[in-house]
Amino acid sequence: MEACSNSYYWARELIGLGHQVKLMNPKFVKPYVKGNKNDYHDAEVICEAVQRPNMRFVEVKSPEQQAVSHLHKSRQLLMRERVSLSNHIRALLSEFGIVFAKGVTVFEQAVPVLLADEYTELPALCRRTSEVMWCSYQHHQHLISELDKELVIWHKANDDSCRLAEVPGIGLQTATALVAKLGDGRGFRNGREVAAFIGLVPRQASSGGKEKLLGISKRGDGDLRRLLVQGAKSVIRHIRRRQQAGQSGGYPWVESLLEHKHPNKVAIALANKMVRITWVILAREGHYRCA
């Protein structure tokens, strides 16, 4: 079947009936379409695509994986809405000459004081509107904290997530997101396949026997890739702080790269290595061992 909406549910149902289910990314099926779209042609191209020896298949997710993935997506949605609300309040008040400094902390401290100040030259209607938007902002804060609590509970109860959190640069958010996306890791043959799946390998434009490597492909889950790169950057900051204090950073490979590469490139390389370590831990059910 094509890996589309509800495909995981139907895949589990069919597996329960004794069938062998193979899910395919729709973009890998599309090249075999030869006519207009209808049920007959869809079935024909799926039968054609599944017989290709190099076809890649999508691992069927468990209900638990889907649940924690849904938690992550819901949290990200609330965070985007929270940012949108704060930007709206800032823009609204700036029209009346009230401008806040940058930063969430400054914003959250200044708005309640402003709304409580009865002598501010702010129209009554604008004040009431701002109060409504501020209440919505606080409500989003509360909902995000509730989801964070649920994520912590799930993380502590999941052995795979706890083992992934042992890797430097991988925290609770990244560990739970990796488990939700990769499962037990056995759907991939090696760590490089996982890195390519997330989009942390170079994009190629090779031809005529000449290899040309570009920037990273940026395929797969952008949020997961962002978490991994941010974790890698936190490790690099830790290394630099130790170096500034006259101590060894503890990561000779990263330190040697930093001597002649831009920190952003080093962060991508480290994120790639973190993903490969993640696959080993998941697929072989091991623990992180510092080299």
pLDDT tens digits, one per residue of 86-142:
999 999 999 888 888 888 999 999 999 888 876 677 888 888 899 999 999 999 999
User: Cβ–Cβ contacts within 10 Å for residue 151, how many?
Assistant: 19
Q: How high is the pLDDT of residue 281?
A: 93
Among 137, 157, 177, the domain-final residue is 157
- Exposed, middle or buried: residue 74 (CB in 10 Å: 0-12, 13-18, 19+)? middle
Using pLDDT thresholds of 50, 70 and 90, give the confidence band for residue 291. Answer: low
- 205 and 277 share one domain: yes
What are the tokens at 67? Answer: 């649940």
- 147 and 168 share one domain: no
β-sheet bridge partners, residue 213:
204
- 208 and 140 share one domain: no
User: Cβ–Cβ contacts within 10 Å for residue 114, how many?
Assistant: 17
Using pLDDT thresholds of 50, 70 and 90, give the confidence band for residue 170. Answer: very high
Q: How high is the pLDDT of residue 119?
A: 60
Q: How high is the pLDDT of residue 30?
A: 87
Would you say 244 and 184 are in contact if contact means Cβ atoms under 8 Å apart? Answer: no
In a domain, 199, yes or no: yes
User: Around 279, how many Cα atoms within 13 Å sit in the side-chain half-sphere?
Assistant: 18
Among 157, 182, 200, the domain-final residue is 157
Residue whose entry in the numeric block shows the structure tokens 């402003």: 114
**15-60 per-position pLDDT tens digit:** 999 999 999 988 888 888 888 888 888 888 999 999 888 888 888 9
Give which of 109, 104, 112, 110 is closest to 86, Cα–Cα. 104
β-sheet bridge partners, residue 210:
207
Among 157, 185, 210, the domain-final residue is 157
Mean pLDDT of 277-290: 89
In a domain, 278, yes or no: yes
In a domain, 289, yes or no: no
Using pLDDT thresholds of 50, 70 and 90, give the confidence band for residue 249. Answer: low
Mean pLDDT of 220-249: 88
Q: By residue range, what is the domain housing residue 43?
A: 7-58
Q: How high is the pLDDT of residue 213?
A: 83
Residues 6+ apart with CB under 8 A from 120: 98, 114, 127
In a domain, 1, yes or no: no
What are the tokens at 77? Answer: 């949605």
The torsion defined by the Cα of 137, 143, 144 and 150, in degrees rounded to 10, comes to: 170
Range of weakest confidence among 76-85, 254-263, 271-280: 254-263
Would you say 198 and 174 are in contact if contact means Cβ atoms under 8 Å apart? Answer: no
- 98 and 178 share one domain: no
Q: How high is the pLDDT of residue 11?
A: 94
Average pLDDT, whole number, for the chain?
90
The three-state secondary structure class of 8 is helix
Number of domains observed in the structure of the chain? 3
- 177 and 252 share one domain: yes
Using pLDDT thresholds of 50, 70 and 90, give the confidence band for residue 246. Answer: confident
Give which of 229, 225, 238 is closest to 270, Cα–Cα. 229
- 74 and 106 share one domain: yes
In a domain, 107, yes or no: yes
Question: What's the predicted TM-score (pTM) here?
Answer: 0.86
Mean pLDDT of 274-290: 89
Q: How high is the pLDDT of residue 41?
A: 87
In a domain, 253, yes or no: yes
**176-204 per-position pLDDT tens digit:** 999 999 988 888 889 899 998 899 988 88
Mean pLDDT of 2-21: 92
Cα 23 versus chain centre, distance: 22
